[in-house]
Amino acid sequence: MHDGIEMERLGVPTATITTDVFDRTARAMAKMMGVPDYVYGMARHPLVTLTPGELQERARELVEQVKGILLEGKL
């Protein structure tokens, strides 16, 4: 979250992604950094135990979120 917000502040379009179990932490970090409405993608947890094929499927699930974040230019 921190890196994504800082990159956006530098003018670099960024799509930050977290997993659903870290949503509360991500929201708190964004609020702490002064951007409580920061938009980020949300993947289903977990990721680390997935096979390459399962990981590709999760990535496909995120494509529309990432496109929306990058094209809307939030922050």
List, for residues 1-46, the tens digit of each pLDDT value.
999 999 999 999 999 999 999 999 999 999 999 999 999 999 999 9
As for how many domains the chain has, the answer is: 1
Q: What is the pTM of this model?
A: 0.86
Closest CA relative to residue 1, chosen from 58, 22, 43, 68:
22
Domain with 36 in it: 2-72
Q: What angle do CA 41, 42, 43 make, to 5 degrees?
A: 125
CA distance linking residue 7 with residue 71, whole number of Å: 16
